[in-house]
Structure 1
């Protein structure tokens, strides 16, 4: 069925583009003396003398060769400039996939977390506030969000870095906002709310004043103390969330991984100076193996749960160490960018090729930061609303009431019983959202001048350059069909009732 859908959709797309555009219009209006020769060359290059349905059949024949492994015979046609689409498409895909992947992961993480917290604090101030925020972001056009990000984030923050001083009044206001959010999330009686809100206010305000006084924004980094504290917090937080603080083996597993991560932080600083992206990939695999092994050998009767804890703690600590190492390279990168690191156009700085992989990563990050946030606003609201509605519905089910009546901790009820069922509709949303993000990148890439898939589509559709348009289409169609297929398989993993032998 997927193959038939792909063939039918490609036929419709091919003929719509071929019949609605004039690929020779720019040449007919040209004053070039060899205009006729150029027209004939383009007709021959793009097979314009062949009827669109037959051209589609020829294109499908070339595209089918892409399925032959190791044959290197893939043929998706050529652009009007004579470049094979198979050469142009991978270059355009890199920036788009980076944006879409980051936006999708962040939307899933923050959207689901916010939705679940809203459901657990139904009709509270936190719930109402984030409901309004999510609906506002959902209704905000992507081009308007991009323009606002350019003006208030890129230009504003770059100007701030010229003299990075946070006024005490601003620090206090930010501390109050954070305190209001924290006390709403924590909930409980008045004493508990005041304690959590007051603590977060003091910590947030004090941290902002410290960052301002020490010039942290110009020389950022967690430092050894920050890495140790964050690693210990990650180990403790993951254990509490998944197993509970009283599970000694789970706590021991997380502690072993945290200690190994902290030791690695100090031991690998020299290696980081000469690392490549391949080296970082190998180290990340080793970190996963350490987390897996710690959970396996310490796990005891609940070995599977402890292996999940070990791997998750290893991932979080690896990310903390990588972020700290990137931040250590920020002063040098900022100097290279003349004090204005956040870019508003392009996917990288033209001609910028330092011998330091960390600066290369920072360059890509700061170029894709605003486009990723712009795409994130499209998906955040959907995940928040689906997660909230699903959690509220699941928490009212009989099996949840039974679990609570048996005396199970609320953490177990929410994480092990309710959350798994909430993931079923969200799995469908992820599958459909990916195609939407790829399509929505057209506007975002145009505004930020990113040479990605959206720019390729827009640049090719206007003059009727058909084969790059079909290359764009085939990627989106294939990804949409693939992720819907993977969603079907995920249903079986999440819900035993739909498993097929």
Structure 2
């Protein structure tokens, strides 16, 4: 694998350098970076022109100027031992991306912007992959059902919508509308019934079955939804949200049943006992953690809590898993991760009322990546909540279209795999349908999805340009649009370099994942 990785990186570097050279020269000849000064009537026009020519080295031909820019990038690897601030104390001190048209160092601008863009793109991509694959698999298993037709219609609908239109709708209804609702969080009875009916239809289409079963599921889903929303309204949950130990345990046990149904089956008693114990113990930790998760702790605590509890849950499953300890350990780790994540989410929810007051009763943000009114030293929980409220709308805007495409790809891929000879052989051996789908068909059907996700990274970042503009994020999208408008080559090339490097990295990860998903593939 090491030889394969090094070989791929070696080839990718030359492809990347060639692409950067072509883009640099094409942009350089597309427009004159002195156009704004030449059109001005400033009395010191000649001095301004001379200053910009010197600043951006415009007296050097574009091909040669590219290699000057590239030399600044490669300066990262030139060691210097007189400055201890570099990487490992001697690397990175000579790194430079040049300056922009306003004489600002491009490196810090890119570093600040790429963090926000990656935060947005990573969240949207991960959620879109999980939901898209899950929806695609279920529609493939329920082919030509009402659920399949409904998802197909919604997929084509959302995929055809321009991202700016989705973003505007989200700002209007999920931000402005929901913030207005929070002023007086009461759901009108007709709307409550309508939501219940819609959820009943959704549950009915997913479960399917005979008419009697569908009617029962519809009624239970509608009544349950209405009851939950009515209870949330009575408890003023929208203004003071939280999970609590009981709800965390319930959600943990639901995760236990889901993981068991997808992997070892609900008849596997040892798995249910071990993973159920993990869920109950994790939920019970809610009480002591209320004293530990104070406002003074750092960002390391929630991460450490999730990692440590997940690892402990894995060891518990490994030790008590019996003959099937591998599957039990995996399921226990999943349950441990979900429960510990719910504990963190509950703690973040507890800051909602204070955050609501600090934002003037408008907690769902429509502009920017953070709220300036949080003070100079907000707690980690308040920062997490603030980040969530600012990430919510742009993440959904990017995610909606990605889910539509991933669900269609997953559906078609699984349908093709289900007709393969080895799947028929697995069924002929008498294996349960769960084992046939999850162990034999699903893994192979994920190979095309892995390729698509890796190739989509650049496209998703490009889509984030529009999203960032609509939601007022000062990230990579704004750098790209401003530098392209001003023919500002250095920040533009910084954007392209980061995007291309991420695409190369994700494609390399995809190649490695191929061997994980299909043992027949060897990296050599």
Q: CA deviation at 1:425?
A: 0.5
Task: State the match for 2:303 in structure 1.
Answer: 281
SS of match in other structure, 1:161 = helix
User: Residue 350 in 1 paired to residue 372 in 2?
Assistant: yes
Task: State the match for 2:5 in structure 1.
Answer: none
Task: State the match for 1:2 in structure 2.
Answer: 12
Matches within 5 A, 1:2-41: 2-41=12-51
SS of match in other structure, 1:75 = coil
Please point out which of 334, 355, 375 is paired with 1:312: 334
Please point out which of 447, 453, 464 is paired with 2:476: 453
Unaligned runs of 5+ in 2: 1-10, 79-86
SS of match in other structure, 1:496 = coil
C-alpha contact 2:69 2:97 (8 A) present in aligned 1: yes
Moved more, 473-482 or 30-39: 30-39
SS of match in other structure, 2:32 = coil
Equivalent-residue separation in structure 2 for 1:101 and 1:500 (angstroms): 26
Equivalent-residue separation in structure 2 for 1:133 and 1:374 (angstroms): 15
Q: CA deviation at 1:38?
A: 3.0
Sort the Cα spacing of 1:268 and 1:165 in 2 relative to 1 into closer, same or farther, 3 A.
Answer: same
SS of match in other structure, 1:165 = coil
Equivalent-residue separation in structure 2 for 1:142 and 1:360 (angstroms): 27
Please point out which of 192, 195, 211 is paired with 1:174: 195
Deviation track 1:160-198 (CA, whole Å, cap 9, x = no partner) reads: 111111122222221121122212212222333233222
Task: State the match for 1:418 in structure 2.
Answer: 441
User: Residue 259 in 1 paired to residue 269 in 2?
Assistant: no
Q: CA deviation at 1:156?
A: 0.9
Deviation track 1:414-440 (CA, whole Å, cap 9, x = no partner) reads: 211111111010000110111110111
Q: CA deviation at 1:351?
A: 4.7
Moved more, 346-355 or 94-103: 346-355
Task: State the match for 2:319 in structure 1.
Answer: 297
Moved more, 416-425 or 59-68: 59-68
Unaligned runs of 5+ in 1: none
SS of match in other structure, 2:48 = helix
C-alpha contact 1:256 1:294 (8 A) present in aligned 2: no
Equivalent-residue separation in structure 2 for 1:390 and 1:147 (angstroms): 33
Matches within 5 A, 1:35-434: 35-67=45-77, 70=88, 71-72=91-92, 73-274=94-295, 275-353=297-375, 354-434=377-457
Equivalent-residue separation in structure 1 for 2:100 and 2:13 (angstroms): 26
Equivalent-residue separation in structure 1 for 2:134 and 2:226 (angstroms): 25
C-alpha contact 2:245 2:284 (8 A) present in aligned 1: no
Q: Normalising by structure 1, what TM-score?
A: 0.96
Equivalent-residue separation in structure 1 for 2:32 and 2:239 (angstroms): 53
C-alpha contact 1:239 1:254 (8 A) present in aligned 2: no
Equivalent-residue separation in structure 2 for 1:285 and 1:225 (angstroms): 22
Equivalent-residue separation in structure 2 for 1:141 and 1:94 (angstroms): 25
Equivalent-residue separation in structure 2 for 1:238 and 1:395 (angstroms): 22
Equivalent-residue separation in structure 2 for 1:386 and 1:233 (angstroms): 28
SS of match in other structure, 1:56 = helix
Deviation track 1:217-264 (CA, whole Å, cap 9, x = no partner) reads: 111111232122112222232222221122233223312321331132
RMSD, aligned CA:
1.7
Aligned residue pair count:
501
C-alpha contact 2:306 2:341 (8 A) present in aligned 1: no
Moved more, 22-31 or 52-61: 22-31
Equivalent-residue separation in structure 2 for 1:43 and 1:300 (angstroms): 73
Q: CA deviation at 1:37?
A: 2.9
C-alpha contact 1:107 1:383 (8 A) present in aligned 2: yes
Q: Normalising by structure 2, what TM-score?
A: 0.92
Q: CA deviation at 1:344?
A: 1.1
Equivalent-residue separation in structure 2 for 1:226 and 1:29 (angstroms): 66
Q: CA deviation at 1:368?
A: 1.8
Deviation track 1:120-142 (CA, whole Å, cap 9, x = no partner) reads: 11111111011010111111001
Deviation track 1:360-396 (CA, whole Å, cap 9, x = no partner) reads: 2121211121111111122111101011111111222
Q: CA deviation at 1:81?
A: 2.4
Q: CA deviation at 1:33?
A: 4.4
Sort the Cα spacing of 1:303 and 1:95 in 2 relative to 1 into closer, same or farther, 3 A.
Answer: same
Equivalent-residue separation in structure 1 for 2:68 and 2:274 (angstroms): 58
Q: CA deviation at 1:67?
A: 4.3
C-alpha contact 1:142 1:444 (8 A) present in aligned 2: yes
Task: State the match for 2:84 in structure 1.
Answer: none
C-alpha contact 1:21 1:462 (8 A) present in aligned 2: no
